[in-house]
Chain A
Amino acid sequence: MLLREIAGLELQLDDQGFLADRSQWTPDVAEALAAEAGITLTPRHWQVLTFCREDAAREGVPPGLRRIAKLSGIEMKELYQLFPKGPGKVAARIAGLPKPQGCI
């Protein structure tokens, strides 16, 4: 566990940089986490992040990548352009969700 000051808040991150307490997430936190990953959030990014957060709230687990590509309105190819370092992990981290467990 790691304490970091991000977007003016003192946040707990796990050892892979995921938010330990999801209630601490705000859009400003997302911007800051994205900036650390070298990403400037655009409306297309937000479409993915919003879908992930809503889907995780409904299903109880963060969506896998195939699910995001099928249901968010953004296709696989673009997901990799938006989050080049691996959309599975990076999108979940920026969205303040745990690391997805699936391999697909």
Chain B
Amino acid sequence: MSATLTVTPAVTTATPAGSGTVSQDVSRKPIEHLAIIVSKGSLDMAYPGLILANAARMSGIDATLFFTFWGLDVITQRTIDHLHVSTVGNPSMHIPTIVGGMPGMESLATVMMKNEIEKLDIPPIRELLEILSDSGAKIYACRMAMDMFKRSKADLIPQVEDVISAMDFFDKAAGAQVVFI
């Protein structure tokens, strides 16, 4: 074993013995808190925010999620299991808008995306939000959007901690990197 060690061109950096942490670059401060604003309710816009938040928690980074406008659909009981991929006005679909607007296209794209997601062992949105909640991520709904869409807290999944204003959200996001999706 020691023979392999001696031939390795390993650089013994000046980490004092027992100092514990091994940092990559001390001049860069690691991210400690990520706050994500989810403002869209389509499947292709819901996943990125939730997966990013989960990756943050897995790395020991605090995560706060604020669902506003159409993002509310992602945490509403009635809609959470029926989010669709948007085929119209979505340049990444690589199909003409008029084709994307044909009957059945959205359902087709949604089924295809759900299949691909399943293959990668990524959970459905509802389960992903349960995982996030169990991981200690904080989930909030936007009060103004709730009023606008005439929803009450009872309409939301139980993992939602509270319905708060944008200003309250900024208090909760203190010190965080804020991401808008």
- Decide whether A and B assemble into one complex: yes
Whether B12 is near chain A, meaning CB under 8 Å from some CB there, is yes
Q: Of B2-10, B107-115, B143-151, which stretch is located at the interface?
A: B2-10
* B51→A77 contact, CB < 8 A: no
Our pick among A15, A64, A80 for the contact of B134 (Cβ within 8 Å) is A80
Q: Once bound together, how far apart are the Cα atoms of A86 and B56, in whole Å?
A: 8
Number of interface residues of B (CB under 8 A): 34
Question: Which B1-36 residues sit within 8 Å CB-CB of chain A?
Answer: 1-2, 4-5, 8-13, 15, 17-18, 20-22, 24
State how many angstroms separate the Cβ of B85 from the closest Cβ of chain A.
19
Whether B166 is near chain A, meaning CB under 8 Å from some CB there, is no
Q: Once bound together, how far apart are the Cα atoms of A15 and B4, in whole Å?
A: 19
- CB neighbours of A84 from chain B (8 A): 60
Fill in one digit per residue for A8-51: 1 if any B CB lies within 8 Å of its CB, else 0: 01101101110001011000000000001100000000000000
Q: Give the dominant DSSP class at A's interface.
A: mixed
Q: Once bound together, how far apart are the Cα atoms of A84 and B52, in whole Å?
A: 18
Number of interface residues of A (CB under 8 A): 36
* A90→B17 contact, CB < 8 A: no
Whether A87 is near chain B, meaning CB under 8 Å from some CB there, is yes
* B22→A15 contact, CB < 8 A: yes
Whether B122 is near chain A, meaning CB under 8 Å from some CB there, is yes
Given the interface pairs A1-B10, A64-B121, A103-B54, the reply to whether A24 lies near B1 with Cβ below 8 Å is yes
Q: Give the dominant DSSP class at B's interface.
A: loop
Question: Which A62-78 residues sit within 8 Å CB-CB of chain B?
Answer: 64-67, 69, 75-77
- CB neighbours of A103 from chain B (8 A): 51-52, 54-55, 58
- CB neighbours of B13 from chain A (8 A): 2
State how many angstroms separate the Cβ of A44 from the closest Cβ of chain B.
16
Our pick among B12, B52, B58 for the contact of A89 (Cβ within 8 Å) is B58
Fill in one digit per residue for B44-69: 1 if any A CB lies within 8 Å of its CB, else 0: 00000001101101111100000000
29 contacts between A and B (CB under 8 A): A1-B8, A2-B10, A2-B13, A3-B10, A3-B12, A4-B15, A4-B17, A10-B2, A10-B5, A12-B5, A12-B8, A12-B10, A13-B22, A64-B121, A66-B123, A67-B121, A76-B131, A76-B134, A80-B135, A80-B136, A86-B57, A86-B60, A87-B58, A89-B58, A89-B59, A103-B51, A103-B52, A103-B58, A104-B123
In the A-B complex, the 8 residue pairs with the closest CB atoms: A86-B60, A88-B58, A85-B60, A76-B134, A17-B22, A103-B55, A1-B10, A77-B134
